[in-house]
Amino acid sequence: MRGAGETAMDGSLPIDLKTQVAEDADDTAFVAEVQAFLAEALTEDLRQAGRETLGVHADIAACKVWQGRLFAKGWIAPAWPKAWGGTGWTPHQRFLWDRECARNDAPIMFAGGLRSLGPLLIEMGTPDQRARYIPAILSGEDIWCQGFSEPGAGSDLAAISTRAVRDGEAYVVNGSKIWTTGAHISNRMFAIVRTADGERRQQGLTFLLIDMNSPGLTVSPILGLAGEHEFNQVFFDNVRVPVANRVGEENDGWSVAKRLMQLARSNNTPPAMVRRVLRRVELAAAALGPDLEPAQRCRLAGLKIELEAFEGLELAALANGRPRLGDQLAPSMLKMIGSELHQRVAELGLEIAGPCAVGALSAVGLAGEDIDYGARAVAKHLSVRAATIYSGSSETQRNVIAQALIGR
């Protein structure tokens, strides 16, 4: 009998991954319940929005409708503790839920609140902050963006220079954040700002919850490579933020932000997101039938296997209680592997689109349907270049992994 982690003689997945990914009899009823719900609640307009997703979230109007339906069902925050609105599902059930959503083209949510801030507030927020913000995150009334990066502070996040100066019961914030995904559709931002100049640059940062409608705050759009408007630059000109909106201690924002990144990072390119793109590529390959290049057929098969392995890794991390893995290793591995796989899948999609992709640029000699398909393959390929940059670039993740492995 093989032990956990051993590879079978026939080259199949190690037994522990295989048993985790496969559905067993116990899951049949759960999957049937999920499928019945999706068949009813996931209307064609929402599926269409899911299919058309270019970046990290679907069209915001579709996200809101989908969030409302999940909220009404009580399924909006499967990863949260049940006492705070979670579903109480096992890690395997959460995985199956994500996979069914991907298979059915559910919209990918804009999830700064659900994925990052909510879990952080549950752990570190004051009772008032939890009472005020958690219900609005669950219902979708509040949409949160993340204000970490600045023109001079990306990978080197400790270089943050946006300043907050205490003035009575408020901080007065001046400076700028950049690459802020969804700032134009959010009514709230969580941010780290500089409140002191410590001996180490990581000291002297403070974590604040900011109302995007505050006087003095302006949002300026930045277009992505594919021409999409997903991120922005945000300017603060004497923006007042109540001291009650601080999470953690003043000047200890670095540890708060680090905790938030641990909670959020592994989820940024989940297998379900890659599965969605792979499904489109599979459909394109199927449409070509015997005309698909043998080398591309091989690569497609290889990517499917890699996705299975990535799903196994995600599930193993989930089963270990992902946010509590005790180190940075698993979140960084999942982020790095997921985003690089995502890019390779989109790249194959572009290659399979071939003449349609070229034709989409010139729109010569192609039917409208092919132009649409080619244009989407080009746009997806361009848009997904960002995946190995946001939430910590692949190079940064490799540094974290190396440091964790050598115990520094």
Ligand X SMILES: Cc1cc2nc3c(=O)[nH]c(=O)nc-3n(C[C@H](O)[C@H](O)[C@H](O)COP(=O)(O)OP(=O)(O)OC[C@H]3O[C@@H](n4cnc5c(N)ncnc54)[C@H](O)[C@@H]3O)c2cc1C
Q: How far is the CB of 356 from ligand X (least distance, A)?
A: 25
Cβ at position 62, least distance to ligand X in Å: 20
Query: Residue 20's Cα: distance from chain center in Å?
Result: 23
Rounded least distance, CB 398 to ligand X, Å: 8
CA distance 64 to 143: 10
Residue number, 129 or 268, with CB nearest to ligand X: 268
Segment 149-152 long-range contacts (CB within 8 Å, at least 24 positions apart)? 149/177, 149/178, 149/179, 149/180, 150/175, 150/176, 150/177, 150/178, 151/176, 151/178, 151/233
Residue 141's Cβ-count burial label (10 Å; 0-12, 13-18, 19+) is: middle
Residue with tokens 């746009």: 379
Considering beta carbons, is residue 58 or 386 the nearer one to ligand X?
Answer: 386
**Cα distances (Å, whole numbers) of residue 221 to 177, 232, 331, 348:** 12, 4, 30, 30
Quick one: 72 or 222, whose CB is closer to ligand X?
222
Whole-angstrom CA distances from 228 to 7, 94, 244 are 43, 31, 36
265 vs 376, which CB is nearer to ligand X?
Answer: 265
Question: Based on CB atoms, which residue is closest to ligand X, 20 or 245?
Answer: 245
188-194/144-147 β-pairing: parallel
Least distance between ligand X and beta carbon 147 (Å): 6
Q: In terms of CB distance, is 95 or 148 closer to ligand X?
A: 148
Least Å distance, CB 327 to ligand X, is: 19
Shorter beta-carbon distance to ligand X: residue 46 or 193: 193
Does residue 74 sit in helix, strand or coil?
Answer: coil
CB distance 246 to 207 below 8 Å = yes
**Interface positions with ligand X (CB under 6 A):** 145-149, 154-156, 179-181, 231, 386, 389-390, 392-393, 395-396, 399
Q: Is-contact 2 15, C-beta < 8 A?
A: yes
What number of other Cβ atoms are within 10 A of residue 73's Cβ? Answer: 11
Number of residue whose CB is nearest ligand X: 154
| Least Å from the CB of residue 112 to ligand X | 7
Q: CB 232 → ligand X: shortest distance, Å?
A: 9
| Residue with smaller CB distance to ligand X, 190 or 310 | 190
Q: How near is the Cβ of 379 to ligand X at its closest, in Å?
A: 14
Give the side-chain half-sphere CA count within 13 A for 334.
29
